[in-house]
Structure 1
Amino acid sequence: MRIELDADKCQGHLRCMDLAPELFDCGDLGYGTLRSSGPVPEELEPAARRCAANCPERAISIHPANT
């Protein structure tokens, strides 16, 4: 799986960073950023799903690794 963060939707709540600091970081302007654009390690997939489910703006989406 891979995750995508829509920067235009992000409002800087940073729940993603709280739930999965291995996957998300805080950018210079206080908005969430991805630590990597590559595939999500299998052991972090549950955390990635939690982040997508808990984002108030639905700025995080999950996709198959091959797309």
Structure 2
Amino acid sequence: MRVRVDSDRCQGHTLCAMAAPAVFELNDMDGHASVATDPVPPGLESPVRSAQQSCPEQAIEVEDHDDDR
């Protein structure tokens, strides 16, 4: 699985980092998220999906790849 945060859409709600803190990191100045680890490590797919679903701006894009499993 690969994940990306659309920096133009992210408004710094920080919900992604609460759902998947090992994958998303927050900018200290504005709270905007970026991806700390890509591809997503095994076992963290579910928290990343939760982060994607909880994002009010729909700024998180997830790509599943069969070769990542």
TM-score by length of 2: 0.85
User: How far off is 1:41 after superposition?
Assistant: 1.3
Structure 1 residue 34 corresponds to structure 2 residue 11: no
Matches within 5 A, 1:18-57: 18-28=18-28, 29-36=30-37, 38-57=38-57
Q: Structure 2: which 5+ residue stretches go unaligned?
A: none
Structure 1 stretches (4+) deviating beyond 2 angstroms?
Answer: none
In 2, the alpha carbon distance for the partners of 1:48 and 1:30 equals: 18
How far residue 45 of structure 1 moved from its aligned partner, in angstroms, is: 0.2
What count of residue pairs does the alignment treat as equivalent? 65
State the AA in 2 paired with 1:33. S
RMSD of aligned C-alpha atoms?
A: 1.3
Distance 2:31 2:62 in 1: 22
3-state SS in 2 of match to 1:62: strand
Q: Who is 1:3 aligned against?
A: 3
Q: TM-score, normalised by structure 1?
A: 0.87
- The amino acid that maps onto 1:32 is A
